[in-house]
Amino acid sequence: MKLVHLSDTHVGRGDNAARLQALLDDISTLGDPADHLIIHTGDLGDSGSPQTMQQSRALLDGMVDKGWRILLSPGNHDCGDAWHVDPQCAALFQDHFSSYLFGRAPKQYPVLTLTADCALIGLDSNAAEMSWWERWAAEGYLGQVQIAALGMLLDRAEVRQRKRIVYLHHHPFLDAFAVRADVGDRNYLSHLLGWNTRRFRRLKDAYSLMQTVRDRVDVLLFGHQHLGLDYSAEGQRYGIPLALDGSSSTGTQMDTDRMRYRIIDTRLGTYATRSVAFPV
């Protein structure tokens, strides 16, 4: 099985709808959809507005019509915006993207999808961010109930005998570096804001998550920080061979403006990164 990892496409901002379409067109050329599974780790849209949801859903539906399977985890932008999540938005998003978030599984997190050789587990890192004082800043929180349920899922025989893939939106590792503003970059204010608010975009219960998944997961996929780095060295501290930040696949807010996605071979435990030019 090959996993195609996309993240943070932020449809609704700039030309990201056309960019996502170009990425999906490229994915269509990879081969037999039956050998692949697309995982989108959230911030599919830039906001939780009904128009954005319709626009991004139409793009995903186009792939499903061609036989591709897509799994999705909700991002903070899908459930509100960069600064807060909104319970109404989250409910609307869950409704609108139910088939991508849950497939045929019950409508609750963690979501388990089994294929012949993989057990894929989706988490909602906005789930416990709904109380008014927790809602501010784009932090993520899984909550004890969800983490306990994840622990129980990982114990199940049908999960243990497969490759185990956990996917969520928020970044489970500590702050990473980013290119700082320099003399040639005039976006001083946005860099200043981005850099200094990075600590407020963390997954608050990352420690509990990593204690639960240690030595029990083969691939950990996430997004949110738009850095696109390979965190396997961090993951391996917890016995997780592959830990990958999906970046912003459409190139949103990246100093390199580089569209890309990853193709992960779950059998070999290897991956390749594919760059896509835009405009094509």
The footprint of Fe ion (CB under 5 A) covers 8, 43, 75-76, 224
Q: Which is nearer to Fe ion, 8 or 26 (CB)?
A: 8
H or E segment and range at residue 264: strand 259-265
Exposure class string for 43-55: b at 16+ Cβ within 10 A, else e: bbbbbbeeebbeb
Compute the least distance from the CB of residue 152 to Fe ion, in Å. 27
Cα-based distances in Å from 279 to 23, 63, 145: 11, 20, 44
Compute the least distance from the CB of residue 227 to Fe ion, in Å. 11
DSSP letter at 171 equals -
Contacts of 280 (CB under 8 A, 6+ apart): 22, 25
Q: Which of 62, 106, 107, 56 is nearest to 78 (CA)?
A: 56
Q: Return the biggest CA–CA distance within the chain.
A: 56
**Strand, coil or helix: what is 234?**
helix
Distance CA 270, CA 263 (A): 9
Compute the least distance from the CB of residue 76 to Fe ion, in Å. 4
Check if the beta carbon of residue 137 is closer than 8 Å to that of residue 84.
yes
Compute the least distance from the CB of residue 97 to Fe ion, in Å. 16
Distance CA 201, CA 49 (A): 21
Q: Which is nearer to Fe ion, 60 or 119 (CB)?
A: 60
Compute the least distance from the CB of residue 270 to Fe ion, in Å. 26
Compute the least distance from the CB of residue 83 to Fe ion, in Å. 11
Distance CA 231, CA 242 (A): 7
Compute the least distance from the CB of residue 248 to Fe ion, in Å. 6
